[in-house]
């Protein structure tokens, strides 16, 4: 299929994983999901990445978000590799790893890129919202490990965006000021939000809404 665009429906699939068979949409439920691919098991960069995702277990849960890893290796390889990941990271791998040997998921999400050296996936990331829409996608080459702190930050930004007529400025982090959408007048913004500051007619900051 064509490359997924922001706002597209995230394709559904049924797959075998280290946590049993799952159907993606049913498994995701009404929360958020992070779907990310890694090129191969028993490889150095992937070991550090999956370990970092395991370390962030409580952070994902706090954001009502599930994580799902994908590679084209076999289920028995995933299961054997988990002990290495847990030893290196010091964290239990409690999220599923899809055994995508037929490359169904990799092809649905365009994770295999021509010229990347073989038929394994590159490092793709998709953030999928409660409605099942693709809200963010990132693609890293096989040689560069991802920054999952940034993926968490982007997830936070998307959840704040959905909380009202807000966007977030450069390098925004939780607790910092948000930007009021241009569709809201300054008068209305001051009535609805705290700490409204007009920098330019089109750039108005306000305090982020409390959870």
Secondary structure (3-state) at 200: strand
Determine contact, residues 123/142, Cβ cutoff 8 Å.
Answer: yes
What phi-psi label fits residue 114: left (phi over 0), alpha (psi between -120 and 50 degrees) or beta? Answer: beta
User: How many CA atoms lie less than 13 Å away from 12 in the CB half-sphere?
Assistant: 9
**Cα separation, 172 vs 39, whole angstroms:** 30
- Residue recorded with tokens 């952070």: 59
| Annotated catalytic residue, options 15, 33, 34, 46 | 46
210 catalytic, yes or no? no
Question: Which active-site residues does the annotation give?
Answer: 46
């Amino acid at each position: 299929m064509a490359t997924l665009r922001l706002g597209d429906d995230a394709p559904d699939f049924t797959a075998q994983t280290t946590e049993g068979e799952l159907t993606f949409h049913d498994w995701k439920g009404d929360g958020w999901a992070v779907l990310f691919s890694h090129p191969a098991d028993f490889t150095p960069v992937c070991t550090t990445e999956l370990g970092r995702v395991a370390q962030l277990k409580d952070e994902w849960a706090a954001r009502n978000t599930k994580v799902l890893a994908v590679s084209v290796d076999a289920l028995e390889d995933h299961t054997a590799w988990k002990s290495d990941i847990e030893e290196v990271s010091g964290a239990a791998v409690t999220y599923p790893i899809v055994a995508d040997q037929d490359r169904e998921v990799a092809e649905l999400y365009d994770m295999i890129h021509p010229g990347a050296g073989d038929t394994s996936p590159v490092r793709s990331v998709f953030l999928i919202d409660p409605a099942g829409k693709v809200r963010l996608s990132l693609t890293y080459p096989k040689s560069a490990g991802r920054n999952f702190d940034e993926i968490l930050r982007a997830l936070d930004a998307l959840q704040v965006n959905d909380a009202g007529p807000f966007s977030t400025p450069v390098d925004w982090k939780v607790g910092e000021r948000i930007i009021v959408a241009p569709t809201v007048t300054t008068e209305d913004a001051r009535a609805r939000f705290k700490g409204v500051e007009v920098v330019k007619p089109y750039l108005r900051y306000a305090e982020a809404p409390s959870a």
